[in-house]
């Protein structure tokens, strides 16, 4: 259980660190087209996430041949990915909406700026406090137009492929994996 817990903490942590390294190094490379940049970004992120997630599982399954430890490892990896993804995708956006409804937009921007600095290493140029609904809608449209949509889907595609691989390869060791993946 200790190795499963350690893996469930270290795998997402190493994925975040590697993500930042790939982003920084990818910005220094000179690509002729954006599609080359996106392909290189996807390839490097996918290969590292694949290795980072499956290396301990393959070692336990084929070298140690310990099904009980493999079961625990798959359980902890699935639970940690479910917890982190649900936390980021649902609860974070829901709490931000609730704070906006209560009128705490300054707290939201400071939290967003702090997270942006921690995760990306960049500071925003000042608080963005929408004054009226028209300005808010205009900011959403501007944000959508300037956002790199293909780049944002990279994380979700990698996450789905790795989760599908966990289910397909290790359902024998942990039969409840498909049920957990539905969450």
The tens digit of pLDDT for each residue in 66-103 reads 899 999 998 998 888 888 877 777 776 666 666 666 66
Say if CB 120 and CB 20 are below 8 A apart.
yes
Q: Is the pLDDT of residue 6 over 60?
A: yes
What is the value of pTM for the model shown? 0.65
CA dist 105 → 128, 141, 174 (Å):
9, 19, 44
CB 60 within 8 A of CB 69: yes
pLDDT of residue 130 exceeding 50? no
Task: Specify the DSSP class assigned to residue 57.
Answer: H
Cβ density class 44-80: b for 16+ within 10 Å, e for less: bbeebbeebbbebbeebbeeeeeeebbbbbbbbbbeb
Counting every residue, how long is the chain?
A: 183
**123 vs 113: which has the higher pLDDT:** 113
Instruction: Answer with the residue of higher pLDDT: 128 or 40.
Output: 40
């Amino acid at each position: 259980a200790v190795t499963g817990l350690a893996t469930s903490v270290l795998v997402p942590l190493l994925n975040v660190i590697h993500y930042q390294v790939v982003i920084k190094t990818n910005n220094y490379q000179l690509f002729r087209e954006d599609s080359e940049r996106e392909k290189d970004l996807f390839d490097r992120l996918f290969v590292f996430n694949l290795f980072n997630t499956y290396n301990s599982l393959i070692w336990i399954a084929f070298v140690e041949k310990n099904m009980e430890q493999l079961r625990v490892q798959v359980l902890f990896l699935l639970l940690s990915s479910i917890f982190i993804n649900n936390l980021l995708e649902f609860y974070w956006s829901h709490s931000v909406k609730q704070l906006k409804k209560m009128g705490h937009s300054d707290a939201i921007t400071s939290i967003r700026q702090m997270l942006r600095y921690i995760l990306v290493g960049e500071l925003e140029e000042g608080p963005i406090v929408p004054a009226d609904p028209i300005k808010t809608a205009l900011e959403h449209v501007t944000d959508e137009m300037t956002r790199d949509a293909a780049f944002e889907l990279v994380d979700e595609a990698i996450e789905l492929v790795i989760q599908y691989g966990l289910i397909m390869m290790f359902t024998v060791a942990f039969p409840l994996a498909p049920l957990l993946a539905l969450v």
